[in-house]
Amino acid sequence: KAGVTQTPRYLIKTRGQQVTLSCSPISGHRSVSWYQQTPGQGLQFLFEYFSETQRNKGNFPGRFSGRQFSNSRSEMNVSTLELGDSALYLCASSRGGADYTIYFGEGSWLTVV
Amino acid sequence: AQTVTQSQPEMSVQEAETVTLSCTYDTSESNYYLFWYKQPPSRQMILVIRQEAYKQQNATENRFSVNFQKAAKSFSLKISDSQLGDTAMYFCAFMKGGGGADGLTFGKGTHLIIQP
C-alpha cells in the first residue's frame, strides 16, 4: 500500500515567485492536511481538506492557498514568496470522519533565495 | 485554542534503557485525541502511538506506552528497551474531536539520542 506521496521533494525559488506543491494521499483517504515546519516556529497547521472542501485554515496569510481534487489529491500554493517561507512542508492524510489515524508524507523542502 | 508543551528539548540515554518523554497540554475540549510522532533525520513523521481522551486505558504499541493523566492534562511517552533506531525528534500532538478538520497542534519536540 503506497504511503502519502509529496512532490517535488526539494525546490529552490526566488523571492516574489510562486510555488505549487502536490500531495497524493493514501488510497481511500479523503482528508488531507498541510503543515509548515521551520526551526523557529516548529510545526504549524496550514489547512485541511475533506472531499474537496477546505474545512479549516491555520493562521497564515492569504498568500497560502490550497485545493483538493475529486481523487483526493491536494495541492498547496504559495504566491509572492518571502524568505521566511523557506520550510519543510508536510502533507498528511487520513480517512477522515471518526478515523484519527493520520499519516504523513516525506515532505517538500522549499528554499526561497 | 489548544497548547502543547514539551519541557525537555533534548534527552540522552544508553541503549536498552527505559526513557520517558514528557508532554502537557491545555484545552477546554472534552473530546480530543493525543499523539506521539517520531521524526528521524529523514524528516518523515511516523505515528508512534495514539490515545483517545475518552479511553481511560493507556495505549501501548510494543516497546512504546503512554501515561495519560487526563485531569492533570499530561501525556508522557515511555520507551522501553531503547534502541539506536529510536534516535529521533519526538513530537507530542493534540487534535480536537469532530472529524479532524482543525488539524494537529504540535509541541516543540524532544530530541532523543540513544547512545550505544
Q: Summarize pLDDT for B28-71 with one digit per residue, the tens.
A: 999 999 999 999 998 999 999 999 999 888 999 999 999 999 99
- B 52-71 residues with CB < 8 A to A: 52
Residue B99 to residue B14: CA distance in whole angstroms? 40
pLDDT by residue (tens digit) across A57-74? 999 999 999 999 999 999
pLDDT by residue (tens digit) across A24-61? 999 999 999 999 999 999 999 999 999 999 999 999 99
Q: Closest residue of A to B43, CA-based?
A: A106
Residue B94 to residue B50: CA distance in whole angstroms? 10
Interface probe with B: pick from A102, A103, A106, most Cβ of B within 10 Å: A102
If you ran DSSP here, which 8-state letter would residue A70 be given? T
Give A66→chain B minimum CA distance, Å: 15
pLDDT by residue (tens digit) across B90-110? 999 999 987 777 889 999 999
Cβ of B99 within 8 Å of Cβ of A55? The answer is: yes
Instruction: Cell 490515545: give the residue.
Output: B51
Of A45, A97, A101, the CB nearest to B104: A45
pLDDT by residue (tens digit) across A75-104? 999 999 999 999 999 999 998 877 788 999
Question: What is the predicted pLDDT for the residue at B92?
Answer: 98
Q: Closest residue of A to B110, CA-based?
A: A42
Q: Is A1 a residue whose pLDDT tops 70?
A: no
Cβ of A45 within 8 Å of Cβ of B33? The answer is: no
Question: What is the predicted pLDDT for the residue at B86?
Answer: 97
Of A50, A88, A100, the CB nearest to B43: A88
Question: What is the predicted pLDDT for the residue at A63?
Answer: 97
